[in-house]
Amino acid sequence: MVKCDDGDTLNRVFSVLSDPTRREMIAQLAKGEMTVMKLAEPFKMSLPAVSKHLKVLEKAGLVSVRKEGRYRYYFLNPASIDCANQWLTDLQRFWTSQLSNLERFLEQNTNKD
């Protein structure tokens, strides 16, 4: 089981993922590492704007960067998303259990009539 810190990682991840541009960048990086220029292609924004989004993603730990010569290659770093994934999985288990209990309750009370 993934151990989350005091909630900072979870808060950062969900905050970062609330932006559709950043979610699309993550989807692009899921195909493989890319330079800023390559990542900027599908967006109608300046390179500095793309770089700002990447810095936010990097600060949240969702992406990492490696330098090769004068190029910076960005790639996904799934470790930060593990905390959010575990939180969502736990929540799903809770609600699945609650709905199963409700279903059993309704079946028992419906059969009594």
Tens-binned pLDDT, residue by residue, of the chain (113 aa): 455 665 777 888 888 999 999 999 999 999 999 999 999 999 999 999 999 999 999 999 899 999 999 999 999 988 777 878 888 898 888 888 888 888 888 888 886 65
Which pLDDT score, from 0 to 100, does residue 67 have? Answer: 95
Dihedral angle sign, alpha carbons of residues 96, 1, 24, 13: positive
CB atoms within 10 A of CB 40: 19
* Domains, the chain, with CATH or none: 8-111 (1.10.10.10)
Phi, psi dihedral angles at 36 (to 5 degrees): -60, -40
Full-model pTM: 0.72
Burial of 31 (0-12, 13-18, 19+ CB in 10 A): exposed
- Residue 59 near residue 39 (C-beta atoms within 8 A): no
Euclidean distance between CA atoms 33 and 72, whole angstroms: 10
Which pLDDT score, from 0 to 100, does residue 64 have? Answer: 94
Which pLDDT score, from 0 to 100, does residue 56 have? Answer: 95
Which pLDDT score, from 0 to 100, does residue 12 have? Answer: 86
83-103 as b/e: b if 16+ CB within 10 A: bbeebeeeeeeeeeeeeeeee
